[in-house]
Amino acid sequence: MSSFRIAVIPGDGIGPEVTNAACAVLEQIGRKFDHQFDFSELLAGGSAIDATGDALPAATLAACKNSDSVLLGAVGGPKWDDLPGNRRPERALLDLRGGLNLYANLRPAILFEALSVASPLKAEIVDKGIDIMIVRELTGGLYFGERGRRAGGNLEDGTPMGVEAYDTEAYSEVEIERIVRVGFDMAMGRSKKLTCVDKANILESSRLWREVANKISSEYPEVALDFMYVDNASMQLVRRPNDFDVIVTTNMFGDIISDEAGMITGSIGMLPSASLGKPGTPGMYEPVHGSAPDIAGMDMANPLAAILSAAMMLRWSLSLTREADAIEKAVTDVIASGWRTKDIAYGQDDKVIGTKEMTAKVIASIV
């Protein structure tokens, strides 16, 4: 029997409900495949502020570093909305990413065939579902570059331009290489197609991305690499989403197109995510949605994004591929059988159930 130490951060709002669901599913995987998951529950976010005054207590970060992987629910809520930015619950997410050095964000955009009606796109575009993996660089680029304000110059006629604000997009070869490698590795495990999204017609940093990606591609001869400008990619994502498989891109472009891709799936309650650092270090897995305070504690939260995040954890941090497949198949089967939480119920034949019952259905499908 193999055993794994999982740091669980339930967080706020529906966070505890969906992490409970994911842990219950992992326990079933443990029973079926003979693994032991040792969960340690940790504080972060608003509940941590209430208990300790700190959104990310040092003990939480230390325990996460010492784990095999981290599973997070969601943080934040109206109770803490008036706190200054650097003391808000969401600060915990940034500090976890920084503290664990998580530089690669994996955001799958999956639309299950049985849920294609959820997509705002036309039926003929999405009737076979959608399955795109977006790999976003998470710790560099525009969001971390040099920024500031300075006195602006003058217009041609001498009018002063006032204060000027600037942000800088800077990427080193090493930063590009390690994220592009994640893209190639993902592509190897999928359909061996990688699209690098950039703005190389304008940005020097994008031209370096292309050079590095081309250099690394010689190590992955089976993967077909292509490049696409971000403006074109954002159009093609809604026109022919199924032509994409794995996309790798910068922090800012990834921020935007992963939300676009998530939106075309139509169901925020179904979207998992992962943030990864150096191979061999703990990754962090969490649903894309927030703490949904409007439905917290009402047994209405869709647990599937958190459950699918647990499947990603098995696949990418614990190398348990069969086990990850088993969870994903169980979710597909439950959805195909018509079971829905309220957020994904669209038709008369849908059988609407709550968080706990949906979790029980997934567990029962892992046999």
157 is catalytic: no
Choosing from 65, 68, 95, 143, the catalytic residue is 143
* Least distance (Å) between residue 89 CB and ligand NAD: 7
Residues near ligand NAD, by CB under 6 A: 14, 74-77, 90, 93, 268-269, 286, 289-295, 301-302, 305, 343
Neighbours of 36 (CB within 10 A): 12
Name every residue whose Cβ is closer than 8 Å to that of residue 40 and which is 6 or more positions away in sequence. Answer: 5, 6, 7, 8, 63, 67
Tokens of 200: 């190389």
Name every residue whose Cβ is closer than 8 Å to that of residue 23 and which is 6 or more positions away in sequence. Answer: 6, 8, 37, 39, 71, 310
Candidates 8, 135, 15, 22; CA nearest to 69 is: 8
- Cβ closer to ligand NAD: 183 or 290? 290
- Cβ closer to ligand NAD: 105 or 195? 105
- Cβ closer to ligand NAD: 213 or 358? 358
* Least distance (Å) between residue 49 CB and ligand NAD: 12
259 is catalytic: yes
* Least distance (Å) between residue 7 CB and ligand NAD: 15
Choosing from 199, 220, 343, 361, the catalytic residue is 199
Choosing from 231, 243, 294, 325, the catalytic residue is 231
CA dist., res. 174 & res. 154, Å (int)? 38
Tokens of 149: 């304000």
For residue 107, the cross-strand partners are 134
199 is catalytic: yes
Contact criterion met (CB below 8 Å) for 273 and 288: yes
Tokens of 351: 């059988």
* Least distance (Å) between residue 122 CB and ligand NAD: 24
Tokens of 348: 């008369």
Burial class of residue 30, CB neighbours in 10 A (0-12, 13-18, 19+): middle
Choosing from 131, 245, 255, 343, the catalytic residue is 255
Name every residue whose Cβ is closer than 8 Å to that of residue 364 and which is 6 or more positions away in sequence. Answer: none
CA dist., res. 226 & res. 237, Å (int)? 15
* Least distance (Å) between residue 91 CB and ligand NAD: 11
Give the nearest residue (CB) to ligand NAD.
Answer: 290
Candidates 330, 359, 308; CA nearest to 107 is: 308
* Least distance (Å) between residue 306 CB and ligand NAD: 8
143 is catalytic: yes
- Cβ closer to ligand NAD: 79 or 192? 79
299 is catalytic: no
- Cβ closer to ligand NAD: 139 or 206? 139
- Cβ closer to ligand NAD: 198 or 343? 343
Catalytic residues: 143, 199, 231, 255, 259
